[in-house]
Amino acid sequence: MREKYAVPAFNVYNIETINAVTQAAEELESPLILALSPATVRHIGMRLIATLVRDISWRSTVPVALHLDHGHDPEFIRQCIQAGFDSVMIDESTEDIATNIRNTREIVNQARGRGNVAVEAELGCVGGFNVATNTLISDDWLTDPDAVAGFVSKTGIDCLAVAIGTQHGPYRTTPKLDIERLRKIRQQVRIPLVLHGASGLLDRQIKEVIEAGISKINIATELKIAFTDAVRKYLMVHTSESDMRWYLQAGQKAVNEVAKQKIKLFGSAGKSRSV
């Protein structure tokens, strides 16, 4: 917040994507957040992913945090807290604000009981389709700056995800971001602000949101696309290849390159020395 850069929160899906973004962060000396959706945690296995990432954080040369992205089920979030996640997100953004406050506060209380576990919540609703709640988000479900201070005070959260015109998934056209709304939100609270739905934004838009107050940026879709495209290209060339280590390495390399680009763009390169 003081130095006007954003910490990258890269969504990871397997050992290759974990290695790819961790190596990128180490090479560029950037702090790093490894984000996993509930579906990914279930896919890998909660105890396995917690153990795996703990091992990476022990031997990493940069600060690494394990984060649950878009948790909806309170019991599942509690299990992630118990498993050793460094931070969790409770996403009650499709609920009314009173329900959002009440349910978020319960998770905050549980996190405090485990010590230094951070909690992120969302006020307003980032665009796109919310799979967990089967909800198509309206374009006007943006964060109300006048509601922010009360929400943060009543919930006790550590980070706030804001809706300013981004959406999850790929964009068909470049989104129009409400930067003035973001500036007003920044003036209301002093906790870090988070931008979801950043894959596909123009570089100038990324720089603009950081300057206006964003301190954490989530990237998922661009990593998935890079990984899949690289594996597909490799198999089209090496049609008889059956050793998955080779084509998965192609995907890992592609994700590594995207991660390095984002770290440089976010301004977090070299910042691990000050964390």
Q: Is residue 170 part of a domain?
A: yes
Cα–Cα distance, 40 to 44 (Å, whole number): 6
Task: Say whether 139 is catalytic.
Answer: no
DSSP string, 53-106: HHHHHHH-SS-EEEEEEEE--HHHHHHHHHHT-SEEEE--TTS-HHHHHHHHHH
**Which pTM value belongs to this model?**
0.92
Write down the H helix ranges in the chain: 15-28, 38-44, 46-59, 74-83, 97-113, 145-155, 179-188, 203-212, 221-237, 244-266
Cα gap 30→25, rounded to integer Å: 5
For 183, the 3-state DSSP assignment is: helix
Residues composing the chain:
275
| Cα dihedral sign, 87-93-94-100 | positive
Q: State how many domains the chain has.
A: 1
**What's the confidence (pLDDT) of residue 130?**
47
Q: Residue 171 falls within a domain, yes or no?
A: yes
Q: Is the distance from CB of 112 to CB of 106 less than 8 angstroms?
A: no
CATH number of the domain bearing residue 44:
3.20.20.70
Inside any domain, residue 51: yes
For every one of its 275 residues, what pLDDT tens digit does the chain have, with 9 covering 90 and above? 999 999 999 999 999 999 999 999 999 999 999 999 999 999 999 888 888 877 877 778 999 999 999 999 999 999 999 999 999 999 999 899 999 999 999 999 999 988 889 999 999 988 654 455 444 444 568 999 999 999 999 999 999 999 999 987 776 777 889 999 999 999 999 999 999 999 889 999 999 999 999 999 999 999 999 999 999 999 999 999 999 999 999 999 999 999 999 999 999 999 998 76
Q: Domain range holding 108?
A: 7-220+255-274
Residue 229 lies in a domain: no
Asked if the structure places residue 31 within a domain, the reply is yes
| Cα(244)–Cα(40) distance, integer angstroms | 20
Gap between the Cα atoms of 13 and 251, Å rounded: 12
pLDDT reported for residue 257: 98
State whether the Cα torsion 223-224-227-229 is positive or negative: negative
- What pLDDT, on a 0 to 100 scale, did the predictor assign at position 114? 83
- Euclidean distance between CA atoms 179 and 173, whole angstroms: 18
Q: Residue 39 domain-assigned?
A: yes
Q: Is residue 225 part of a domain?
A: no
Both tokens assigned to 158: 């550590």
User: Contact at 8 Å (CB) between 217 and 206?
Assistant: yes
CB 213 within 8 A of CB 189: no
Q: Indicate which residue of 55, 69, 146, 178 is catalytic.
A: 69
Spatial distance between the Cα atoms of 266 and 219, rounded to a whole number of angstroms: 11
Name the amino acid, one letter, at 240. Answer: S
Phi/psi at 181 (5° precision)? -65, -45
For residue 136, the model assigns a pLDDT of: 47
Single-letter amino acid, residue 192: P
Q: Is residue 98 included in any domain, yes or no?
A: yes
Report which of 147, 149, 198 is spatially closest to residue 177, judged by C-alpha positions.
198
